[in-house]
Chain A
Amino acid sequence: MITAKRKTGLIFFPAYDWEISPTHPERQERLLYTQDQVMEEGVLDIEGIREFKAGFATEKDISRPHFCVPDVDSRITLSHNISAGGCIEAARLVLEGAVDNAFALVRPPGHHAMRVVQGARGFCNINIEAVMIEWVRKNYPRIKKIAVIDTDCHHGDGTQDVYWHDPNVLYISLHQDGRTLYPGSGFPEEFGGPNALGKTLNVPLPPRTSDEGMLYVIEHFVMPVLKEFGPDLVINSAGQDNHYSDPITNMAFTAGGYARLNEILSPHICVLEGGYSIEAALPYVNTGIILALAGVDYSYVREPDLNPMRIKEDPRIIEYIKGLVDRLLEMWRARDSYEVPEEGVLSERSRSLFYDTDGISENQKEVIRVCRQCPGAFKIDSFATTGYRIAGIHLPWGACPACREQGLKWFEKPGRENYYAVYLQDMDRDEYTVKLT
């Protein structure tokens, strides 16, 4: 009999009755072979590893990080309620002390979903980590600082967007270089909003990066930054598409590498994101991650077709990564010395977004009040090809009186007449209001 060093909770919700389409990568049997492997290995019989039921995320839970247009119900399916609810359950288990860490092996994924949800992007409708994080902040106010380490192969542009202005949520993404893969973003220059500089960190890795390169970034960049940031809660967005066998990416990470990554990172919560090599990678990667979380020897877990020599990185890749890490560390250390506008200034950014899964285009204009006292109130003007034009106003956790006043003023007078609706997120009061105009 094996006893785990750490108590690990597993929320397994494969949603065997949900798919984007029968042959889409995000399809019903995505976690089937993972379940087979985990069951055959007897992982759930290990003393200390326990499986728990998923839960439901409510409309309010989803409204905390999102402006769903026109409303929450029309943007999601029940499977999203449960996949986000599974994450919440994982967080609850950890924060109640029932387990030391937890893994939400749920689908559908969420890290491409941004604050404004006009449709589905990159197979994601709502951001399941963000729903979980906001639930944690609401229910466990002692959790002040949260770090999300996103190891999905695609840049988690959704999570980056939700926390772009939040100095208390550190978002670090390791991903295949955006010049070679969807969604085409995630460069070092994307460094956080004016009130949260350095709290968004991007590590674009060259194609064919394997274990050595990934683990170098974790050990020499992520860990020192985390140590300095001092989070109360560490979350791994555990996408598994960096795997050498993944059909839609070009990296060369292994199951053993993923396990080692989680051993080093030792997150409180892992959330499954992408990963579409459902037979050749997921069964082994997930087994490895669960064992690493529980502190059980994973060194014999490996893929049947693993050939370490064939996937080893070219030395030039390692050199490149070392240089990249040096540069990122320099940026991180200098994060407080960058020039930002004066307090009270309204800083603007405009951008065009594309919802690839649903084929929707959106134009956004965002205004944030530069603030030293709180994360800053902001307003987003969003206009999509669906015909919906909305304004969303966000009053952050711990909003200062000036930002609260500014936010409420925006809500009162959003600046245009033709909005379908104006949304207000008042985090401290946990009130989420929609005003149809």
Chain B
Amino acid sequence: MILGIDVGGTHTDAVCIDRGKVIAGAKALTGPDLVQSIHEVIDALDIEYTDIRRTILSTTLSTNSIIEKTFEPTGMIVSAGPGIHPSNYFLTGDFHLVAGAIDHRGREYIPLKRDEILGAARELKAKGIRGVGIVSKFSVRNPVHEAGIFSLIEKDFEHVSSGHSLSGHLNFPRRIHTTYFNTAVMPVQRRFVHSVSRALNELGIRSQLLFLKADGGTYSESAADKCPVETILSGPAASMMGGLALCSDPGTTTLVMDIGGTTTDIGVLIGGVPILEPKGVSIGGSKTLVRGLKVVSVGAGGDSCVSLKGREIVVGPNRQGPPACLGGPSPTPMDALSVLGSFPKGDKDKACNAVKEIALALGRDIRDVSKEIVALMISNIKESAREFLDEVNRYPVYTIYEMLHPEFVEPKQIMAIGGPAALLQPYLEDAFRMKCIVPEHATVANALGAALARTTTQITLMADTQLGKLICPELGIEEDASSSLTMERLKSKGIDALKKHIASQGFSGHIEVSVLEEQTFNIVRGFSSAGKNFRLKLQTKPGILDEWSVR
């Protein structure tokens, strides 16, 4: 059996899956103690726990810790060299800029200064700082400076992380943000994992514990321990994976919408795969290198507050509480649906009274106003979906081939999940002029998505035969590259390493590796070829476990 748990801002959902079927689902309110909420929702499932062999958790823990800045003070030691001045990226007062520079091919041209680094470490330690992030420019081309700093300070701090191990992508500012957040959430994550493991143990659940990442894939407890930052924004990722799992024809380009109380998350499935944010996700206004699904969140949900701005009705973007018909303070789209007779729950009189205030102020009919409220909510969603697709279709391309073969993304159907999805289905179909599917289990789709997500990884391999170097920063591979290296050989090496890495995380199923990017260039000195520069990005795509084939 598989247990999937999604700890969201308002609700904690859980599902239990056995032989490809949902055998139980439950919801509980999320309290201040997340472990307590997890405990409660598992209790509510009311199942026999002993058969559970996988437990997958998606939580808002690291996301909230970063957005609310509740993490403990964290230091940074960064070497940059010339370029845009790194002071632009000082996220903390405990940011130490040290000497050292590496160029775009990974050649060192300004060495580190040992004493300067030790001095920075002493200063951080004296302030009682326990966690330090280490970053150098172009460390993914040559991690020698990050490794050098690491070996000098490692013994002095409890939590240390290095930029190159978190992502193989180029982007120094994002590397700084990513490494800082990763280090900052390490203690929170460690405490949480410890308590969850104990709680599961107490319940008699002795299963493998996995975490959902922003890219809609899972990783092991030990991997999460090193790279906790990858769990940020796993909520929207759970939605998209839930949408994917419940989609009966995932090959069709599909808009997935998770319509919640406060917001609606929108993403797109292309060829059965949710699309990724090309450079990395943003959190709390900071851009990171964390691989994540491309999801846009719009402030339009079932409980969005409806107000008047002059003579104009405005829906959202905030939520003030539950809908008026459920005892809330202001009218919401759910109240409008209640007036229109689509929402059977709650107190219809309260809904009418709330909408009536707006109708009276405008001197209009209450049903008329209700229709407009729903239409406005849907049009907010539609507008965001349109911008989202425009952005995807504007991604620049760099080769003639891609210019001639543009892949235009145009969804053919909508998959709507979340509480109000079923009620809004006819309105969505009408506004988008396409089929809108609201699947079974739509209300616990997030937990389902977490439960069924496959393990994902992405690695970068770079080989420079002139410098005789081969490197894979994410896996810590650094070796000599022979002058006879070919792309084919590099690829098979990378695939082996990636499979080994995934297997080491306890994943035993079939692993399908795909090439994300592949480039070969000549290195020319004078007017003759002096070597080759190979660049390769491999991944295992986000996807749904094979056993969920019952659909």
Contacts and interface: CB of A to CB of B under 8 A. Distances in A.
Interface in A346-395: none
Contacts of A33: 104-105
A301 B88 CA distance: 14
B172 interface: yes
Among A24, A33, A52, chain B packs the most CB atoms within 10 A around the CB of: A33
B84 A41 contact: yes
Contacts of A297: 84-85
Contact of A17 (B82, B105, B170, B401): B401
Interface string A7-50: 00001111111100011100111001101110111110100000
B30 interface: no
A23 B83 contact: no
A16 B399 contact: yes
Contact of A283 (B104, B172, B519): B104
A2 B84 contact: yes
Main secondary structure of the interface of A (DSSP, over half): loop
Interface residues on B, range: 35 or more
Interface string B277-304: 0010000011100000000000000000
Contact of B521 (A29, A42, A54): A29
Contacts of A333: none
B173 A301 contact: no
Contacts of A301: 82-84
A32 B171 contact: no
B398 A14 contact: yes
B397 interface: yes
B400 A17 contact: yes
B171 A42 contact: yes
A82 B400 contact: yes
A37 B104 contact: yes
Interface in B402-430: 403-404
Contact of B85 (A1, A43, A300): A300
Contact of B170 (A14, A36, A79): A36
A27 B286 CA distance: 37
A29 B533 contact: yes
Contacts of B103: 304
Nearest to A14: B398
A79 B172 CA distance: 31
Nearest to B176: A42
A190 interface: no
A292 interface: no
Contact of A12 (B109, B169, B396): B396
B491 to A, nearest CB: 18
B529 interface: yes
B142 to A, nearest CB: 12
Nearest to A85: B403
Contacts of A1: 88, 285-286
A11 B137 CA distance: 25
B138 interface: yes
B358 interface: no
Contacts of A304: 81-82, 101, 103, 109-110
Contacts of A302: 82
B88 A300 contact: no
B524 interface: yes
A16 B172 CA distance: 24
Contacts of A12: 396, 398
Contacts of A79: 400
Contact of B398 (A2, A16, A27, A287): A16
Contact of A40 (B170, B404, B529): B170
A300 B83 contact: yes
B398 A13 contact: yes
B499 to A, nearest CB: 28
Interface string B518-549: 01011110111100010000000000000000
B88 A36 contact: no
Contact of B400 (A18, A27, A32, A41): A18
Contacts of B171: 39-40, 42, 45
Contact of B394 (A18, A52, A296): A52
20 contacts: A1-B286, A17-B399, A23-B522, A23-B527, A28-B521, A32-B533, A35-B398, A37-B104, A39-B169, A39-B171, A40-B138, A41-B84, A41-B173, A45-B287, A56-B403, A283-B104, A287-B83, A297-B84, A303-B82, A304-B81
Given A42-B287, A302-B82, 4 more contacts: A23-B524, A42-B172, A51-B396, A82-B400
Interface of B: 81-85, 88, 101, 103-105, 109-110, 137-138, 169-174, 279, 285-287, 394-401, 403-404, 519, 521-524, 526-529, 533
